[in-house]
Structure 1
Amino acid sequence: MYRNLIPVGRHYIAVPKSLERIYSQVLRLTRYENQHHVIYRLAHKKVNKSKDHNSRLFDQLKTLEVQYTSKFGKGQNPPLKKPNYTETKNNKYLHENNIFNVIRPERHGEGDTFEDRLFHDEKEPPEEEDEEGKISLVLSRSVTPELEEKILNGIPNQKCILKEALLEIEKLEKRNFKFILPKSMTVDEWRTLISLQDMRSRTTYVHSLVMGTPSLDEIQQQDKIYQNPLQLDPELLEDVQDEEGQRKIKIFLMEHEMLRQDGEMVPYLVTEKDIFAIADLKTSTARTKLMMTMLGREIRMFFNTMRNRQTEVQNPKLMIKKREQSEISYDESSDKTIVLNYNPQTINLAYDWSAVREFHDWGIPLVIDMSYTSNCELDHRLRQNSLLSEILNSISINKEAKTPFQLQITNIQPDLTPKLSDELSKNADVAPYNLTSESHLDMYPHDRLVYLSPDSRNNLVKFNPDDIYVIGGIVDKQERGKVRVPLTLPAAKKLNIRHARFPTRQVFGVQSAFNIDTCVGILNDIKETSDWFYSLRWLPQRILLRRLHNDPNPENELLVRAHRRLSPADSDIELKFRLLNPTNYRYYFKRIMECKTKEEMENLLSEIKI
C-alpha cells in the first residue's frame, strides 16, 4: 500500500496511477487503525489536488465508511470524521454537562434562518448605489467645462480651489454615513464655496444648503478663525506657571502657524489637557504628532456635529427623545428615577477607598508581575505608553468592581518605576493598589499561586478564592516576521507553580493572549458570578472578528453583533450595559441575536434600564 503513496513531510501525495488500484488497496487494509490513518491523511491533510483524478479520489475517500475487520470488534463504523486531538475527557464532560452555559443562536420554526437576521449593523445607513453597484456621485460630477468657466469668471487662480472643493465633496459622498447634499448648485453658490479657505467651512456650507443651518454669516465668521493664527484662552495658560512650559507653548504656536501658512490643515480646538501635554513635550516630532492627534479628534467632532444636525432635521422626535433621556426629571408624578449629581472626583475617591478596604485579611490578592518588562523591548516609547495605559485601566476596572481585589503590582523594574509612579500619582489621591519592587514569590507561598498563561493547556474551570492569580505584565505586540515567545508558562514550569488559561475556546471557539486590563475585568466578574459566558464579555472585539474572518458564517456574525453591543471593553458603551447582571446579560444577548432589523435592535436596547 505505502509503495503507492509518496510521503512528503507529514503529508501523503497519491502517485498518479489508476484510481481503482489505489482505492482497492485502501479497502484491503486489514487493520482499522491503518485504514483510518491513511484515509485521514488523504482526505483531510493539505495534499496536491491539482489533477482531476486526484480530486475524484479525495471525494470518494471523504465519503468512505470503514469496516471493523480487526480483533477489536465487527460492525459498521460511522463516516470518517476529523478528530479533535486537543479535546480532553475533562472538556467533553464540561460540554455534556453544560458547565459554561453558552448562548448560541437558535432557529424558531422552519422558516427562520440565520441569514434573515443579518442586517447592516452600523450606526450609519449604507450608501446608495447605482445600477452598476457603484456609489452614486452626483454633486462632485455635476461641474461641466462650461459651468467651470462661468464659476471661474476669468480668474484661473481659483481653479485649484475648485478642484480641491470637488475632491472634498467626493470624499463626503463616499463616507459611510450618507450626508444629504444638493444634487446641483448655482454659479453663485459655487463662487461662495470657493471663497471659503478651509475644508471644514466648505463642507459645512455645502451641507447647510440642504439643512438650512448654520447660516452663511456663521460659516464665514468661523472661516476667518481658520485663516488667522491660533489664539489660546488666557485662562488655560494661567495653569502653566513655569517658564519652560510657557516657552514650549510658544514654540508649539510657532510651528502651528508655520504649518498653517504652508497650506496644511491644523487644529483649532485646544483643551486644558492639551495645554499640559504641550508643556511637557521636548521635541518637534512629538509636537507634530500631538497636533495630528488633536486634528483627528477635531475632525471626528466636526462630522459628529454634522451628523447630529442632519438627524435633528430629519427626525426631530428622535432628538427630543434623546434630550429627554439625558435630562433628569424632578417631577414627583414622573416614573423616572431621581439621581443625585455627584462630583466625578467624589465618585472616584469612593472607588479608591472601596479598593483600599480590601487590603486586609479578608481581601483576595491579585498579582500583576512586571518582571517581564525587560523581555518586551520597552525601549520604544509606544510600548511603554501601552503598558502604562493597561496598568491604569486595570486599576480603574478593579476599583469599580463590586468587590475589588488586593491589586499587587510587583517586580517593578528601576527604569519603569519613575514613569509609572508619575502616571499613578496624577490619577489617584488614595492608592487603591500596592506598587512594589518586591517579588510575589517572596510575598506569598508558592502552593497558592496560579500563573495565568494563554499557552497553558489547563482550563480555569472555577474560580478559587484561596488561590492567588498572577497576570504577566507583558506588552505582547507581535511584529511581522517574529514569533511570539511564551514567557509566563516557562516561568511557571521552572518554579513548579500551577498554571491555567481562560476557557475562551469552550465558550467562543477562540484562544488568544489578552491585555492586562482584560484579564482583571474577567477575573472580577468570574469571582462574583462564577459564570464564564458572562465574564468573557470583556473579550476584545478583535478576537471575535478574527474568528469571523476565519469562519464567515451567519452564526458567528450574530455572536459578534451581540457581543459588541453589550461588551464593557468598549469605552463608548453606556453605563447601563456595563451594570447588567448575568441573567439580564444572557436575556438581551439572545434577544439581540434574534433581531431581524436595526430598528428592532435599537428599540430593544432602549428598553434596558439600570
Structure 2
Amino acid sequence: MEICYESQAASEEKQQVDSEDEASDGDGDDDDENLREAAGDSKDSSSLEATRDLVAMWRHAGKLVPQEMTDEEVRALAELTTKSSRKKYLKYLAKKECHRRTHKEKQAKKKAEREAWIEQSRGQDEKLRNTFFLQFWSRSLDKVLAWRSAQAMVFGQPLVYDLSYESNMLRRDVENTVSQLMDVEAYNRRATDPFHLHFCNLQLDGTYRQELLRRYGKEAWDRLLITSTDRQHVDVFPREQLVYLTADSPNVLRKFDHSKVYIIGALVDRSIQSGLSLANAKRLKLATARLPLNEFLHWEMGAKNLTLDQMFRIMLTLKETGNWEEALQFVPKRKHDGFLQKEMTSNRVRGPRKEGDRG
C-alpha cells in the first residue's frame, strides 16, 4: 500500500491551520453557516458553486482541502451537517488526492526510466535482438499454455469450486475469495497437466460473479478456459464420482483418485464457520475427505484450514506425483513444525495393520 508523505512545509502548515482552527471558532462558525445555506438545496448548480467557493476560500486560508472536487464530492460535502464531519471528509479527499498524485508521479518516473533504457539500448543490436526474442517467446508460451488449458477442458480431470457460500461471508471476504480463485486459475493455466476447473453455483447476479467481472473485465472473463455455471455440482457430475474436501471430514484422503471429481468450498479462513462445508456435503449425500495433515505434519495449534490456492497446489502436485510429502510442501510452515518420521507417516496413511497381513 502506497503512503503519501506531506512535505515538511505542508506539515508545518497543517499544524498552523489546526492551531488557527482552535483559535478562530468564530470564523469557522461563519463558514458553517455559509455551508448550511449551500446545503439547503445541494442539487442546485448555484449551491454547488457556493460550496466550491467556500472550499476555495478554505484552501487559500491554508486548510487541508483537495485541489479538485467532483460534483458528487461537493454535493456530499454540502449535505454534511457538522463541522467535524466536513473537516474529516475534506481531509480524506485531500489524502486520497495526494495518493493519486504520488501514484501518477511514480508511473511517470517509471515510464521515463523505461524510455531512457530503450534509448540507451537502441544502439546495442544484441540487446534488442534478445528483447525481440523474449517477446516472441512470451507470445509462443501463452499459446502453448492456452492450448493445454483447452485440452484440459476436453480431456482433463475436473476440479470443482463450490461458490454457494457468499451469503455466509462479508463483502471483503468475498473479495478475498475471488483473489484466491484468480490465483488458482493462474496456477492452473501454467500447469503441465492442468485440471478442468469448474466454478459451480456461480449466480449471474451474485457477488462472486460481480467481483470476478470487475477484476478480470468482461472480455478477459469470457476468454477464460474454465467452466462456470449456476448449476450445482450434483447436477453436472454423477453423485458417486464426487468427493467434497473439507477439514471437518472424519475420512482421510489417503491417495489421489483420478476417477473422482474433487470439490473445494470457495470460502476464506476467517469467514469459515465450523462444519459448514461438511454439513453442505452431508445434506447432498456426498462422500467427504480431509487432507492427511495430522498423519504427515507436526501440526501446531489452530484450525486446519488452508487457502484456496494452497489447496489447489497441493491437489495439483498430488495428481502429478502421487507424493504426499511433496504435495504438502505448500502448507505454510508457520502452521506446523515439520514432517513426521517416514515410518510413522507410512503407517498412518496405510491405516492399522490387520492380523495376518504381511509386512
Identify whether the pair has TM-score above 0.5, normalized to the shorter chain. yes
Match of 2:259 in 1: 466
Output the CA distance in 1 between the equivalents of 2:261 and 2:237.
8
Q: Write the distance in 2 (CA, Å) between the matches of 1:345 and 1:497.
A: 43
Cα 1:411–1:196 shift into 2, 3 Å: closer
Identify which of 172, 190, 196 aligns with 1:406.
196
**Using the alignment, how far apart are the partners of 2:248 and 2:134 within structure 1?**
46
Which stretches in structure 1 are left out of the alignment for 5+ residues?
Answer: 1-167, 169-194, 200-250, 267-281, 301-328, 331-336, 548-555, 561-610
* Structure 1 residue 469: Cα displacement: 0.2
3-state SS in 1 of match to 2:152:
coil
**1:391-427 Cα shifts (integer Å, max 9, x gaps):** 1111111111111100000101232333323433365
2:111: which partner in 1? Answer: none
After TM superposition, give the deviation of residue 383 of structure 1 in Å: 2.1
Task: Report matched runs for 1:417-456 at 5 Å.
Answer: 417-424=209-216, 425=218, 427=220, 430-456=223-249
Q: What's the CA shift for 1:198?
A: 8.0
Q: 1:358 to 1:368 in 2, by over 3 A?
A: same
Asked if residue 521 in structure 1 is aligned to residue 313 in structure 2, the reply is yes
Question: Cα offset for 1:294?
Answer: 7.0
Of residues 279, 284, 291 in structure 2, which corresponds to 1:502?
Answer: 291
Give me the whole-angstrom Cα distance separating, in 1, the residues matched to 2:101 and 2:254.
47
CA contact (8 A) 1:349 1:430 kept: no
- Given the superposition, is the C-alpha separation of residues 356 and 292 from structure 1 closer, same or farther in structure 2, using an over 3 Å criterion? farther
Q: Are the structure 2 counterparts of residues 338 and 288 from structure 1 closer, same or farther at C-alpha, using a change threshold of 3 Å?
A: closer
Task: Determine if contact 2:162/2:266 at 8 Å carries over to the other structure.
Answer: yes
Determine if the alignment matches structure 1 residue 359 to structure 2 residue 149. no
Distance 1:291 1:506 in 2: 53
- The Cα shift of 1:508 comes to 2.3
Name the structure 2 match of 1:537.
Answer: 329
Work out the CA distance in 2 between the residues paired with 1:415 and 1:345: 34
Q: How does 1:273-292 map to 2 (within 5 A)?
A: none
- Pairwise CA distance, 1:545: 2.4
Distance in 2 separating the partners of 1:458 and 1:507: 15
Rounded to whole Å, the distance in 2 between the matches of 1:502 and 1:295 is 48
What letter corresponds to residue 506 of structure 1 in structure 2? E
Matched, 1:415 2:209: no
Kindly indicate which of the two structures has a greater share of residues assigned to helix.
Answer: 2
**TM-score under structure 1 normalisation?**
0.34
Residue 353 of structure 1, CA deviation: 3.1
Unpaired stretches in structure 2, ≥5 consecutive residues = 12-51, 67-75, 78-88, 107-125, 340-359
Deviations 1:200-241 (A, max 9, x none): xxxxxxxxxxxxxxxxxxxxxxxxxxxxxxxxxxxxxxxxxx
The count of corresponding residues between Structure 1 and Structure 2 is 240
Distance 1:451 1:340 in 2: 45
Match of 1:368 in 2: 161
Q: 1:389 aligned to 2:184? A: no
1:415 partner amino acid: G
> Hey, what's the Cα distance between the residues in 1 that align with 2:95 and 2:251?
44
Q: Match of 1:117?
A: none
How much has 1:384 moved relative to structure 2? 2.8
Is the alpha carbon distance of 1:534 and 1:546 closer, same or farther for their aligned partners in structure 2, counting shifts above 3 Å?
A: closer
Higher relative contact order (CA 8 A, sep 6+): 2
CA displacement at 1:346 relative to structure 2:
5.6
Q: Kindly, what percent of the aligned residue pairs are identical?
A: 24
- Listed one character per residue, the Cα deviations across residues 573-607 of structure 1 (whole Å, up to 9, x for unaligned) are xxxxxxxxxxxxxxxxxxxxxxxxxxxxxxxxxxx
Q: Distance in 2 between matches of 1:546 and 1:451?
A: 23
Q: 1:338 to 1:546 in 2, by over 3 A?
A: same
2:177 and 2:290 map into 1 onto residues whose CA distance is 21
Aligned ranges 1:159-238 → 2 under 5 Å = 197=9
Which amino acid in structure 1 is aligned with residue 176 of structure 2? S
Contact 1:408 1:433 in 2 (8 A): yes
In structure 2, the CA distance between the partners of 1:452 and 1:289, relative to structure 1 (3 Å rule), is: farther
- Is the 2:64–2:94 Cα contact (8 Å) retained in structure 1? no
Q: Tell me, in whole angstroms, the C-alpha distance in 1 between the residues paired with 2:144 and 2:150.
A: 10
Using the TM superposition, give the Cα deviation of residue 529 of structure 1 relative to its aligned residue in structure 2, in angstroms: 0.9
Do the aligned partners of 1:372 and 1:487 also contact (CA within 8 Å) in 2?
A: no
Structure 2 length normalisation: TM-score?
0.55
- The amino acid across from 1:457 in the alignment is P
Give the counterpart letter for 1:388 in structure 2: V
CA drift of 1:293 comes to 7.4
